[in-house]
């Protein structure tokens, strides 16, 4: 049975009832939304008015937008618009024959009247429908009828790679770069073996989906550039985006561009993933194209100094003006990428590979502390409960104590020298740890002090997402123990003890994973620079805000002994400057599985 497509206002997109005549939000009168039929999915010329029976009703004028509930080919019931670009409009639709959700890309009507475009459309349609790859958006069907040229394809719920990179604020972790870009290279290697050249590779044409908590790239719009060659598309606003990724030979001799042109575009894309920007930027089409032909790209390390040297060499080789100087195949590109990332992989980034299922739940430490396993998987993050996936990690069962911190000082001789160093361990008279505070959480430590301890211990500060998952669990608890309001038996808060208490004093307040003191006692430093927008709308896989401003503040979580009950919520957060030290500020550490 056909699924009813959702109806929305044609002006403001507000959801409407099927019988609504006016939009309650903006007042616009709504046009009738009964089904409009288009004949069939046979490729080839469609008949004129008066065609034989079965050709379907004639649509006299090509609409700029097709209405929700429009029935294409008697099979595809249109829903709402999910995207629009320089070449066409993409609709979510329901395939009534196979009972599945699909995406339908309809080329703009100013293109479909071009006979050469229609000829190329038929040719590319036959080629692409016969080929598939796990990292390519699947093509199911094509429609050519009168004014309409449409591609029926897999509906991917995910962001474009450009949008995904924006969520990382241009600082995507290297291992995630490897995961996403390797999939794209595998897809293009297979395409090139089949003689298929994309010609318009760019982050806007790579979708990033989630599958089992892992990122899966999906390349879209194969064949579109070939279909539109030589049309007025080349003077549209969308062309500027394409120019940023265009190879020199596409500018000078487009008829001779081969698969190595795709490799150049992939080089530009990798440059952008690694640095957050493209090598050449200009608002003028011609100037941008000439830059690809004649200008030397700035080294990526100018924008990201920690870039592995081997990765920088690979990027610059892929951007060689001479196609013969680039990696000659995507297989070679992938081999060099894997080598560059494996040789220089930062130790504190989550692994792209799934953690073994046999990881121990508890890891004892020589100082008497314990690390608790937080398993891989999704959890609801923030007040809006957006789904975030984290790889497995270990977290200290309790905050770092005065006793543990004293050992660090004795072994390393660490002493801060910043302007606020006079407040360092201000609760230790004459620099000596009071015995009665040995098992209390250490306080009066800055973010830099906490980082120094973590590095000495072979650990790291938790990311904000790691801290929150450890506190609220996969079920998204309001407090570590559940939904019940805080009580004196669950946490140290509201100045009830007038100071810190020994760690682990509140077994009723333990988190779902067995982690103690994640509510009250002390605020705990996280590794993330504070950015509320990143927290609310950042990446959905191992988010970690490493983008530093001139005067950053760093996140603290968990509330403290002098704060009220509201600060104990698992999504409550605050931030301070990294040199700040106070009586309610401590920390704990994490470690990645071996």
Active site residue 317: no
Q: Which residues pair with 78 in a beta bridge?
A: 93
The DSSP-derived string for 401-456 is: BHHHHHHHHHHH-----STTGGGTTTTSGGG---GGGTTSBP-S--HHHHHHHHHH
Tell me how crowded residue 507 is: count the other CB atoms within 10 A of its CB.
10
Which residues, listed in sequence order, are joined to residue 209 by a DSSP beta bridge?
158, 216
Beta bridge partners of 574: 556
Question: Can you read off the two tokens belonging to residue 479?
Answer: 């407090």
Q: How far apart are CA 463 and CA 486, in angstroms?
A: 25
Of the residues 95, 114, 141, 200, which is catalytic? 200
Write b or e for each residue in 568-592: b if 16 or more Cβ atoms lie within 10 A of its Cβ, otherwise e.
bbbbbbbbbebbbbbbbbbbbbbbb
Give me the residue label for tokens 């396993």: 373
3-state SS string for 243-309: HCCCCHHHHHCHHHCCHHHHHHHHHHHHHHHHHCCCCCCCCCHHHHHHHHHHCCCCCHHHCCCCCCH
Instruction: Mark 59-78 as b/e (b = at least 16 C-beta within 10 Å).
Output: beeeeeebbbbbbbbbbbbb
Element (H, E) at 528: strand 523-529
C-alpha 363/C-alpha 376 separation (Å) is 17
Encoded tokens for 432: 């000596």
Catalytically active residues are 200
């Amino acid at each position: 049975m056909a699924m009813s497509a959702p109806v929305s206002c044609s002006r403001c997109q507000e959801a409407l009832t099927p019988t609504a005549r006016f939009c309650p939000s903006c007042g616009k009168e709504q046009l009738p939304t009964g089904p409009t039929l288009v004949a069939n999915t046979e490729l080839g010329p469609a008949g004129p008015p008066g065609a034989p029976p079965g050709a379907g009703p004639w649509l006299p004028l090509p609409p700029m937008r097709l209405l929700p509930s429009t029935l294409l080919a008697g099979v595809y019931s249109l829903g709402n618009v999910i995207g629009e670009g320089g070449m066409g409009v993409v609709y979510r639709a329901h395939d009534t024959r196979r009972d599945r959700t699909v995406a339908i890309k309809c080329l703009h009507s100013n293109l479909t009247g071009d006979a050469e475009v229609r000829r190329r459309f038929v040719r590319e349609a036959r080629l692409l429908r016969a080929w598939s790859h796990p990292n390519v958006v699947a093509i199911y069907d094509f429609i050519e009828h009168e004014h309409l040229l449409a591609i029926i394809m897999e509906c991917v719920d995910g962001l474009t790679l450009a949008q995904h990179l924006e969520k990382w604020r241009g600082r995507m972790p290297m291992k995630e770069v490897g995961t996403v870009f390797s999939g794209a290279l595998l897809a293009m290697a297979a395409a090139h073996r089949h003689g298929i050249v994309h010609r318009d590779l760019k982050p806007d044409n790579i979708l990033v989906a989630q599958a089992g908590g892992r990122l899966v790239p999906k390349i879209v719009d194969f064949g579109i550039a070939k279909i539109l060659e030589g049309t007025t598309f080349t003077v549209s606003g969308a062309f500027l985006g394409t120019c940023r990724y265009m190879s020199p030979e596409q500018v000078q001799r487009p008829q001779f561009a081969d698969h190595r042109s795709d490799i150049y575009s992939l080089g530009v894309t990798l440059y952008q993933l690694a640095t957050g920007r493209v090598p050449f930027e200009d608002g003028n089409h011609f100037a941008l194209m000439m830059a690809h032909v004649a200008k030397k790209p700035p080294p990526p390390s100018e924008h990201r100094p920690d870039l592995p040297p081997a990765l920088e060499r690979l990027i610059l080789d892929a951007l060689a003006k001479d196609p013969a100087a680039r990696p000659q195949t995507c297989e070679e590109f992938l081999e060099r990428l894997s080598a560059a990332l494996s040789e220089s992989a930062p130790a504190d980034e989550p692994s792209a590979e799934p953690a073994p299922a046999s990881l121990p739940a508890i890891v004892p430490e020589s100082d008497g502390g314990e690390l608790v396993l937080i398993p891989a998987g999704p959890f609801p993050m923030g007040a809006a409960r957006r789904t975030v996936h984290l790889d497995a990690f270990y977290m200290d069962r309790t905050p770092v104590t005065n006793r543990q911190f004293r050992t660090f000082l004795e072994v390393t001789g660490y002493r801060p020298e910043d302007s606020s160093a006079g407040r360092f361990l201000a609760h230790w008279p004459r620099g000596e740890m009071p015995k009665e505070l040995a098992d209390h959480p250490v306080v009066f430590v800055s973010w830099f002090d906490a980082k120094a301890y973590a590095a000495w211990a072979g650990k790291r500060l938790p990311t904000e997402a790691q801290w929150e998952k450890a506190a609220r669990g996969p079920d998204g608890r309001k407090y570590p123990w559940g939904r019940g309001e805080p009580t004196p038996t669950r946490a140290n808060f509201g100045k009830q003890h007038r100071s810190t208490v020994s760690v682990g004093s509140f077994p009723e307040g333990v988190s779902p994973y067995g982690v103690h003191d994640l509510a009250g006692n002390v605020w705990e430093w996280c590794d993330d620079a504070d950015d509320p927008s990143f927290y609310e709308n950042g990446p959905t896989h191992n988010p970690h805000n490493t983008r530093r401003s001139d005067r950053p503040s760093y996140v603290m979580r968990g509330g403290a002994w002098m704060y009220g009950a509201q600060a104990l919520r698992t999504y409550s957060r605050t931030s301070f400057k990294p040199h700040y030290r106070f009586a309610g500020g401590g920390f704990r550490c994490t470690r990645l599985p071996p």
